[in-house]
Amino acid sequence: MKINDEIYKFNLKKELKNIYPFLIEDCFKYKNRLNIKFGNSYLLETKYNNYLYDIFIKYCNKVLNKFTLKDNDFKCWCYYSDITFTKANWHNHKKSSTINSVIYLNLPKKEKGIDFKINNKIFNFMPKKFDFIIFPNYLEHYPYPSNTDEPRISLNLELRCFEDSRKIFKLND
C-alpha cells in the first residue's frame, strides 16, 4: 500500500508470526552491542536474515521500478529504545543504501511513530506491530524513541542498487 509518493507500507504478520518470538529473542540476545552513537542501533545476527531479505526484495519487486542489486551483503540492524536508551536523531541512509526498510516488532503503548521530511514538510507515520515500510535512501526521518520501560524494537534492512533511488521509486517518470 502506498502511503505517499515515497513510502510504501505492508503488514507482515502472516510472514513473521512463526518466527516473531525468535526474532525478539535475537534482539535481546545482541542488545549488549547497542551503541547510542549509532542512534540506538546494533547489528543483529539472526538465522532469519535471508528470510527477511527475501520478503524485502519480494515486496520491492511488487511496487518499485526494476532495480539491480550491487551486492548481497545483507545486514539486519536492530533499533532498540526504552527508558534507558532514548537517543534519536534526524538521519537518512544515503551512504549505506539505495532502498531502505523498517519492520516494527514491538511498540510501546504511547508510541509517537516516525517523522519523515517530505518537501520541507513533516509527515508522521504511526506504525503498528508487524508493519513494514519501504522508502528511498535520501528520505530524512526521525524515529521517536520510547521513553517508557516498554521497548520500541524495529529492524532496518537496506538494499544497495546500481540504479538511482528516484528512478526506482518512480519519481522521474
Cα–Cα nearest to 142, from 169, 122, 120, 121: 122
- 70 domain residue, yes or no: yes
Domain count within the chain: 1
CATH number at residue 55: 2.60.120.620
Top-confidence residue, 58 or 82? 58
- 132 domain residue, yes or no: yes
Domain region containing 49: 2-162
- 170 domain residue, yes or no: no
DSSP bridge partners of 121: 118
- 8 domain residue, yes or no: yes
> Which pLDDT band, with edges at 50, 70 and 90, does 147 fall under?
confident
pLDDT in tens, 68-127: 999 998 999 999 888 877 777 888 889 999 999 999 999 999 888 999 998 889 999 999
- 85 domain residue, yes or no: yes
Give, in order, the Cα–Cα distances in Å from 47 to each of 27, 70, 106. Answer: 12, 22, 19
- 173 domain residue, yes or no: no
- 168 domain residue, yes or no: no
pLDDT value of residue 173: 45
Residue 161 CA, distance from chain mean position: 17
